[in-house]
């Protein structure tokens, strides 16, 4: 059992008596346990289990709500500076979060916007998502710490040897002309930040994460319900108000987990000529299914004129056909002309082990 968090509390009664308690969070084999130990009149602690299970988000929700209830009863933390969220930032994670916290307070907005513009233009050139190049938080840290050499850039979290080799030169051009009043390495940051402010920031990060996870669970359930209703992909996208790329990512996640996404896949592929689907299926077998750009090249040639919405649509249906192809490979049926035609046409059937779309009870209770 790994003890992750421990804090002591006291409550003073009207008769000046003091009741002591401890709250702990422990983990073993992926199972979380939150316990409240309160000393009784006989000095024997009474254990109350607030949570046990594997869901981190639910564990934190119970921890927070139960602790707030105890605070309302008059219990006060003995080590308030540690705070109930500090255990989320231990070791390297704590260092990273301190750098992020500092950079949010001290970033240079003009430099940040210039870095953001460069990042978006570079992503467009490479046909990548901007956040694959660098996240906004990485850019915030660059604008706060202003690295001017390759060695300094590597000290900024997220910029390892690979990304530094690719992007050091354009980043250095932007940071070289900006004045700074701090130095590298960044071990001074821990002494510069306000502990109470950092604790509040951690609490805000938890709130954002909890809200995001709740919204994601809701969207996941709505996606399963939409698929069970037999809606077409365009209608699902409209109902969930998701960008097409995000919607496809969630379909891929659910398919990987064993849910039957075939109705959605089938509806999306109906508008693609059968010959193109068969050619793509064959290309997956010959070139592999990891990257889609080689498949597009095989289908339409290296000098294809696909662009804009047309190219985006092509990548969309290829991603969905790839799901069907991978299921066929896993089932041992991706080879052969008959299997190729059946898989590309969508007549191969649902792979064994797929969870039925109508079975939403388990998903709702998860």
The pLDDT value recorded for residue 334 is 57
Q: Which two tokens stand for residue 195?
A: 């502990």
- Hunting for tokens 């001074």 — which residue is that? 188
In this predicted structure, what is the pLDDT of residue 165? 94
User: Which of the four pLDDT bands, split at 50, 70 and 90, describes residue 28?
Assistant: confident
Cα 159 to Cα 115, 151, 184, 241, 245, distances in angstroms: 14, 10, 15, 33, 26
pLDDT confidence of 43, banded at 50, 70, 90? Answer: low
pLDDT mean over 179-196? 93
Among residues 82, 81, 146, 83, the alpha carbon closest in space to that of 111 is found at 146
Q: What local confidence, expressed as pLDDT, does residue 29 receive?
A: 72
In this structure, of 169-183, 196-210, 335-349, the range with the lowest mean pLDDT score is: 335-349
Q: Say if residue 99's pLDDT is above 70.
A: yes
Ramachandran region of residue 43, left (φ > 0), alpha (ψ -120 to 50) or beta?
A: left
pLDDT of residue 341: 57
What value does the mean pLDDT take over residues 68-82? 75
Judge whether residue 344 has pLDDT over 80.
no
pLDDT at 65 over 50: yes
Higher-confidence residue of 63 and 336: namely: 63
- On whether the CB atoms of residues 147 and 156 are closer than 8 A, the answer is yes
Residue 289 clears pLDDT 90, i.e. is over it = yes
pLDDT digits 0-9 by tens, 219-270: 888 898 888 888 888 899 899 888 888 899 999 999 988 888 998 899 889 8
pLDDT of residue 110: 97
**pLDDT, average across residues 184-188:** 96
DSSP annotation of 259: B
pTM score of the predicted model: 0.58
Distances (CA, A) of 191 to 60, 95, 179: 28, 12, 22
Give the model's pLDDT for residue 345. 65
Tell me: pLDDT of 85 over 70.
no
Instruction: Provide the pLDDT confidence category of residue 346 given band limits of 50, 70 and 90.
Output: low
68 C-beta neighbours (distance < 10 Å), count: 11
């Amino acid at each position: 059992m790994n003890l992750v968090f421990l804090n002591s509390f006291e409550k003073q009664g009207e008769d000046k008596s003091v009741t002591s308690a401890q709250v702990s969070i422990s983990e073993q084999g992926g199972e979380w346990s939150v316990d409240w130990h309160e000393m009784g009149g006989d000095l024997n602690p009474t254990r109350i289990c607030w949570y046990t299970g594997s869901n981190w988000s639910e564990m934190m929700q119970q921890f927070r709500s139960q602790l707030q209830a105890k605070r309302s009863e008059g219990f006060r933390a003995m080590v308030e500076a540690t705070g109930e969220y500090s255990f989320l930032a231990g070791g390297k994670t704590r260092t990273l979060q301190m750098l992020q916290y500092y950079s949010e307070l001290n970033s240079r907005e003009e430099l940040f916007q210039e870095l953001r513009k460069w990042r978006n233009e570079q992503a467009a050139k490479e046909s990548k998502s901007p956040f694959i190049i660098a996240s906004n938080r990485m850019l915030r840290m660059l604008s706060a710490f202003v690295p001017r050499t390759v060695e300094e850039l590597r000290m900024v979290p997220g910029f390892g040897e690979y990304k530094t080799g690719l992007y050091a030169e354009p980043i250095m051009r932007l940071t070289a002309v900006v004045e700074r009043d701090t130095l590298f390495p960044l071990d001074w940051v821990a002494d510069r930040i306000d502990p109470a402010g950092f604790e509040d920031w951690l609490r805000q990060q938890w709130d954002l994460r909890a809200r995001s996870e709740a919204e994601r669970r809701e969207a996941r359930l709505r996606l399963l319900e939409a698929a069970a209703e037999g809606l077409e992909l365009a209608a699902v996208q409209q109902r969930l108000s998701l960008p097409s790329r995000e919607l496809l990512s969630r379909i891929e996640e659910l398919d990987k987990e064993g849910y039957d996404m075939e109705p959605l896949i089938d509806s999306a592929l109906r508008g693609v000529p059968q010959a193109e689907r068969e050619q793509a299926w064959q290309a997956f077998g010959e070139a592999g299914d990891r990257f889609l750009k080689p498949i597009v090249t095989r289908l339409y040639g290296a000098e294809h004129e696909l662009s804009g919405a047309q190219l985006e649509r092509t990548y969309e249906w290829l991603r969905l056909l790839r799901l069907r192809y991978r299921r066929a490979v896993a089932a041992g049926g991706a080879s052969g002309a008959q299997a190729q035609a059946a898989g590309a046409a969508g007549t191969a059937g649902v792979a064994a082990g797929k969870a039925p779309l109508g079975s939403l009870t388990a998903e709702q209770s998860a």
